Every structure is written in C-alpha cells, then in structure tokens.
Amino acid sequence: MINVSSSKYSDGDKGSYSFEFISDFLYEITYIIAGYSLAYWIMPCLVYRRKYFASVIAFIVLGYLTSILGRIVIVKICEPLAGVPAKAFETYKEILTDIPKLLYVYFFQIMANAFVFVFFKLFKDQFEIQKRTLALEKEKAETELKLLKAQLNPHFLFNTLNNIYSLSFTSSPVTSQSIARLADILDHILYRCNTPFVPIVAEISVVKNYIELEKLRYDERLTVNFKTEIEHEANIAPLILLSLIENAFKHGASEDAGAPIIDITLFANEDKLIFKVSNTVAISNNASDMVSTERIGLNNLRRQLDLIYGDNYTLSVTREEKYFTVQLTIQLKKEVIKHEKDPMPAG
C-alpha cells in the first residue's frame, strides 16, 4: 500500500494508523480504475486493434478523469478526515481546471502505478500464452504421433492375417503358433505401447515374433540373421524397430524373387542404441527405386523420430551393389534426461 496521506493533505504529519489505512485505501481506488482500464481496454485497443489515435485520446481522458477522482478523494474525503480547515477546501470547478496540479501531483503517480500493474499483467499473459502454446504443440505432436502409428499398425495386421488365412487352408501345424505370435504382437501394440518408452527387450520380442510370422510367406530361400548385443538395458520409443523390419520385408524380401537375405544387428549400452537392417534388393532396381523406397517406407518413421527424439538420433540410408541398408542411432542418455524433464503423458 502506497502512503499518500502525508504527502497530500497533512503536510508531513501522519495521522493514526486507522486514518492512514482508510485514506490510502480510498486513494488506491484511483490506481485500480486506472490500472484495469489501461490493461483491459486501452492496451488491447492499441496492440491488437491498432487504433493508435483512439488509444492516445483514451489514455489522456483516462489520466484526466482518474486525476480528478484522486483529487476529489483527497479534498472532499481525506482532508476533512485529517482535520484540514474548511477554508482550504477547493471547489469542483477549481479541481477540474487546476491542470498543473492534476498533471504533476496526480497524473504521473497514478499512471506510474497503472503501468506497473499493466507490466505484471502483460508478463502473466505472455506466460499463459507461452504455456498454452507449448501445450498445444505437445498435444499436436502426440496426435500426429498417434496418427503415424495408426498408419503403421493396420498395414502390419493386414499382411499377417493374410498369412494366417493362407495357413488355415492347408491345416498347417504352425497355424496355432502363428496366432499366438500375432496375439503377443497385438498385446504389445494395444496395451504396452501407451507409454512414451518401452524396454528394448520388449521391442526385440515383438521383432522376433514378426520375423517368424513373415517367414511363413517364404520357403527356405529366405535367410534372416538377427544378432543382438545388449550391454545395458534401456527404454526406447515403441514400434521404431518394427518399422525398420517391416520396411526390409516390404521392399526387400517381397520384391526379391531370388534368395533374399535380411541381416539385422542391434547394439545397446547405457549411452546409445545402434540398429542396423540390411536387405538384398532385386538387381533390376535402380537408384530411383531406392529413393522411392526410402520415401514411401521411411518418411513416417523419420517424422515419428523427429517428434520423439528431436536432434538425438540419426537415420542413414545407403545402397551398395545389391544391398539396401538402414542404420538408426539413438542417443539414449540424452533422451532419458529430456524425458525426465518433460514427460509426455500416456495415451
């Protein structure tokens, strides 16, 4: 509370605490009116509507009226309470026309307090806007991530069901085993991928089940080599590894009428994960086919990695002779720190 009684109407002689409180409280009303009018009326008109002339006029009028109100509070209420002789009272005409006193004694003080209020309000509004923007961006990223996953899962499910459907016609003894593998994969996708990160061992299990299901489509001509080296257990984003495996089967084994080979290596320690998938491609495929393959099979994965890992990953795509290779490297420690500071809610 700003003390105005001693400087305005009692010549430096302070009154009782109750008088100080009452007089200061009444004078604070002018600060409140000026502050709220400036913050909720004039500033929005100036900043958002860009009505500069109207805003200046409104500011001058507001300053004049609140200065008059402040002077009336002092002369007609506070000074009588302080015991100032009646002959010292000013008339309303004198109050309205004494511009120098209104300007130098009241206007600057009232507006200075009003601008302090406006400053804190603008700071609060900016904080709220930033907070809301971050929330919207995060919600947008989560929604986009769900859409990317939704594009992946139906494709995988469709191919797998077709394979099991074909097995059912031959009464193959591996039909029930295939259904069990599919059930495990669906359980992982539907119920264990609702968190931002899952254990690497869980993703490896899904990949192995997927490979076994895909191998049902091929005879002995398909060779799949899968090597893992886990020095330290860690968590990664779900379905990332499966996306790369799907890409290898879709654009490698399924298009290679010869003896397709898929080599998969996974290395993980406390700091990073390296996942490399190499698959043979048909000799007839040229460089443009490789670019098209990358665009179709990996664009969604790149976008998903951008949303989750930001700059903490690299995804390289190369082709040497008859091999198409994709290598994913993720900086796990950086991602853990980022995740602890700003966790993405489940769902």
Alpha carbons 93 and 68: distance in angstroms, whole number: 11
pLDDT in the model for residue 147: 57
Coil, strand or helix: which one is 321? coil
Nearest to 58 by CA among 44, 69, 79, 77: 44
Domain layout of the chain by residue ranges: 5-130, 172-341
Give Cβ neighbours of residue 236 (< 8 Å, ≥ 6 apart). Answer: 197, 198, 200, 203, 273, 330, 332
What is the chain's alpha carbon radius of gyration, rounded to the nearest angstrom? Answer: 37
Tokens 């947008």 appear where? 140
Domain 172-341 has CATH 3.30.565.10: yes
The rounded distance, in Å, linking the Cα atoms of 125 and 39 is 11
Length of the chain: 347
pLDDT in tens, the chain (347 residues): 344 443 444 444 445 555 666 667 777 888 888 888 888 888 878 777 788 888 888 888 888 888 888 887 777 777 676 666 655 567 777 777 778 878 777 888 888 888 888 888 888 888 888 888 787 777 666 666 565 565 555 666 777 788 788 778 777 778 888 888 888 888 887 777 778 888 999 999 989 998 888 887 777 778 899 999 998 888 998 888 988 888 888 776 666 657 888 999 999 998 899 999 998 886 654 545 544 545 555 777 888 888 888 889 999 988 887 888 999 999 986 544 444 444 444 33
Give CA–CA dist 267/275, Å, rounded: 7
Helices 240-251 and 200-214 cross at an angle (nearest 10°) of: 20
User: In this structure, what are the phi and psi dihedrals at residue 279, rounded to the nearest 5 degrees?
Assistant: -135, 145
CA distances from 283 to 176, 251, 306 (A): 37, 13, 33
Question: In this structure, what are the phi and psi dihedrals at residue 228, rounded to the nearest 5 degrees?
Answer: -130, 145
Distance CA(92)–CA(229), nearest Å, equals 90
Where do we find the tokens 């191998």? 215
Model confidence, pTM: 0.55
Q: What is the residue-wise DSSP string for 119-172?
A: HHHHHHHHHHHHHHHHHHHHHHHHHHHHHHHHHHHHHHHHHHHHHHHHHHHHT-
